[in-house]
Amino acid sequence: MMEQDIQRVLFTQERLKSRVAEIAREIERDYEGREIMLISVLRGSFIFMADLCREIQLPCTLDFMSVSSYGTGTSSSGQVQITKDLSEDITGRHILVVEDILDSGNTLNYLLRILENRHPASIRLCALLDKPERRVKPVELHYRGFTVPDDFVVGYGLDYAEKYRNLPYIGVLKPEVYGG
């Protein structure tokens, strides 16, 4: 039923698996000999982070945050709100923020500033998808899965109105579905 709402598939399940493994190798190279803490920005990145952490062959811990600038709409409101904070202290730790998509930069610009103020040893950003056409705030992206066009994408954790997260691929949602 959900497949009928997909205009086209951008990244198959196989391509996602392959790219996640490639990103894990990059992270291992950069963090060799160190333990890292992966921080998933809920909810969209939980599937990506689960696959990524299983691929990383380094000691790592996990934590979760929920930060929103969308509400129920399809574009960023610019108003950022932390709805779930970390459970662990990050002082002196090597932090890798794992996000599903970087578009406007509002949320991640805010989140990274908040985390920097908590004095980690280092902080880097890993986003599965990058939508540079939508950027309004500067954000340094260290690990990028794919660059995507300015289309509304769903699947592999990304949603529209809390639906489509469970699709095993990433696809473009038909505009008539979300009123675009």
Tokens of 176: 């008539």
Tokens of 120: 């980690």
To 10 degrees, the CA torsion angle through 93, 84, 97, 58?
A: 60
Phi, psi of 156 (to 5 degrees): 55, 40
To 10 degrees, the CA torsion angle through 131, 132, 135, 139?
A: 100
End-to-end CA distance of the chain: 20
Tokens of 96: 């890798």
Nearest CA among 48, 53, 50, 41 for reference residue 81: 41
Beta carbons within 10 angstroms of residue 146's beta carbon:
17
Place of tokens 């696959």: 51
Residues known to be catalytic: 103
Which amino acid does the sequence have at 3?
A: E
